[in-house]
């Protein structure tokens, strides 16, 4: 049997306790999403923008991210007296909420924003230095009926105890709206970033934020590999043989697509890192489809 593994770092084992139950419909009611009252808590004008979007600087698709390339990326961990252990990732939705994977569990108590290099206290690049990271305690984890067997509903929303402070290196990602909600992403290239293992055999962890560009595949590609067939609430993303993949430690990280929904292009989160093969890079991985769960996500965003 092909073994699968969630993308959480193995040194932290979490037991998922469902805090909030809810159900999604069999299909998306686009009008209900577009007119949802809680959009007032999300800034659709300035979300999903980075310091590189309006510049002429070209970022080559590769491995090491530039400082501020993914300002919505969050590290999620357990803060103890002398050390903080990070094992999952997430995305900042607004000043109070972070979206992550349900299988990361509820043992985490802190979210770190504005990180790039996990070794240095101050991140600098091309004479630009980043403000100190923001470590914010977690007030509540919200779950939506995660199935540990099929990995369905593998998402959670984290409420922060205090608001994040926005700057060029801490900004929210865009949630899908407009025609993004109905787009067929099969064959499209998307970006996945995180601090997860770069090699599961040697257990090498990167010092800086890494990312890959990978294609969205037909679900049948993953169905040929995994025990549980994927449904419309999941994406199959990755490569068959190129050794590029998300990995342990990337759980909950956002999958983003840079595209236009209104007047300008923005970075939209379309998926969440869920699970993959035990040996990362041996095939595509499975991701939670954010578009499908938009009604539940919006229901939970009640402050800004």
Res. 278: pLDDT tops 70? yes
Res. 204: pLDDT tops 70? no
Q: Does 185 share its domain with 287?
A: yes
**What pLDDT, on a 0 to 100 scale, did the predictor assign at position 240?**
75
Ranges 40-49, 51-60, 181-190, 269-278: which has the least confidence:
51-60
Rounded Cα distance, 170 and 131, in Å: 10
The three-point CA angle 205-210-211 to 5° equals 135
Rounded Cα distance, 90 and 57, in Å: 27
Q: Does 188 share its domain with 157?
A: no
Q: Does 156 share its domain with 211?
A: no
**What pLDDT, on a 0 to 100 scale, did the predictor assign at position 281?**
65
| Structural domain contains residue 53 | no
Q: Does 198 share its domain with 275?
A: yes
Active site residues: 103, 154, 251
Q: Does 132 share its domain with 87?
A: yes
Structure tokens at 280: 């990362």
| Structural domain contains residue 64 | no
Q: Does 92 share its domain with 110?
A: yes
| Structural domain contains residue 49 | no
Q: Does 260 share its domain with 245?
A: yes
| Structural domain contains residue 255 | yes
**What pLDDT, on a 0 to 100 scale, did the predictor assign at position 27?**
65
Give me the helices (H) in 109-192, please: none
Rounded Cα distance, 143 and 154, in Å: 9
| Structural domain contains residue 157 | yes
Buried b (16+ CB within 10 A) or exposed e, 64-90: ebbbbbbbbbbbbbebeeeeeebbbbb
| Structural domain contains residue 42 | no
Q: Does 133 share its domain with 215?
A: no
Residue (of 83, 100, 95, 82) closest to 14 by Cα position: 100
- 299, 38 contact by CB (below 8 A): yes
Residue ranges of E strands in 93-151: 97-100, 110-113, 124-125, 128-129, 134-143
Q: Does 287 share its domain with 185?
A: yes
Mean pLDDT (the chain) is 85
Cα R_g (the chain), whole angstroms: 18
- 248, 197 contact by CB (below 8 A): yes
**What pLDDT, on a 0 to 100 scale, did the predictor assign at position 7?**
53
**125: confidence class by pLDDT, cuts 50, 70, 90:** confident
CATH code assigned at 110: 2.40.10.10
pLDDT digits (tens, 9 = 90+) for 146-184: 999 999 999 999 999 999 999 999 999 999 999 999 999
| Structural domain contains residue 4 | no
Res. 282: pLDDT tops 80? no
**Residue 178 Ramachandran class (φ > 0 left, ψ -120 to 50 alpha, else beta):** left
**What pLDDT, on a 0 to 100 scale, did the predictor assign at position 81?**
86
Q: Does 217 share its domain with 195?
A: yes
pLDDT digits (tens, 9 = 90+) for 223-244: 999 999 999 999 999 987 666 6
Give the domain extent around 103.
71-172+295-300
Residue (of 212, 254, 225, 280) closest to 101 by Cα position: 254
Res. 93: pLDDT tops 90? yes
Ranges 44-58, 96-110, 240-254: which has the least confidence:
240-254
Give me the helices (H) in 205-268, please: 219-223
Q: Does 181 share its domain with 166?
A: no
Residue (of 294, 205, 279) closest to 243 by Cα position: 279
Structure tokens at 201: 């055999």
Q: How many domains does the chain have?
A: 2
Q: Does 201 share its domain with 275?
A: yes
| Structural domain contains residue 85 | yes
């Amino acid at each position: 049997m092909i073994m699968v593994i969630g993308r959480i770092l193995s040194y932290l084992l979490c037991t998922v306790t469902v805090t909030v139950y809810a159900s999604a419909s069999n299909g998306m009611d686009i009008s209900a999403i577009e007119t949802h009252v809680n959009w007032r808590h999300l800034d659709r004008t300035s979300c999903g923008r980075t310091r590189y979007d309006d510049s002429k600087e070209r970022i080559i698709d590769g491995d090491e991210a530039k400082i501020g390339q993914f300002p919505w990326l969050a590290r999620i961990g357990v803060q103890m007296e002398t050390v903080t252990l990070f094992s999952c990732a997430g995305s900042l939705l607004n000043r109070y909420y972070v979206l992550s994977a349900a299988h990361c569990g509820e043992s985490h108590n802190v979210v770190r924003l504005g990180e790039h290099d996990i070794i240095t206290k101050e991140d600098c690049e091309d004479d630009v230095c980043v403000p100190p990271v923001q470590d914010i305690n977690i007030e509540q984890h919200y779950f939506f009926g995660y199935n540990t067997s099929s990995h369905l509903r593998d998402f959670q929303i984290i409420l922060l105890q205090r608001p994040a402070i926005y700057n060029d290196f801490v900004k929210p990602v865009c949630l899908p709206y407009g025609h993004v909600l109905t787009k067929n992403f099969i064959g499209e290239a998307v970006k996945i970033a995180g601090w997860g293992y770069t090699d599961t055999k040697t257990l090498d962890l990167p010092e800086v934020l890494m990312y890959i560009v990978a294609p969205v595949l037909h679900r049948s590609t993953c169905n040929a590999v995994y025990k549980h067939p994927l449904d419309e609430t999941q994406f199959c993303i990755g490569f068959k043989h190129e050794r590029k993949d998300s990995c342990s430690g990337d759980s909950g990280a956002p999958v983003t697509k840079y595209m236009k929904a209104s007047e300008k292009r923005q970075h939209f989160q379309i998926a969440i890192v869920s699970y993959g093969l035990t040996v990362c890079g041996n095939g595509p991985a499975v991701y939670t489809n954010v578009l499908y769960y938009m009604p539940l996500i919006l229901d939970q965003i009640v402050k800004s």
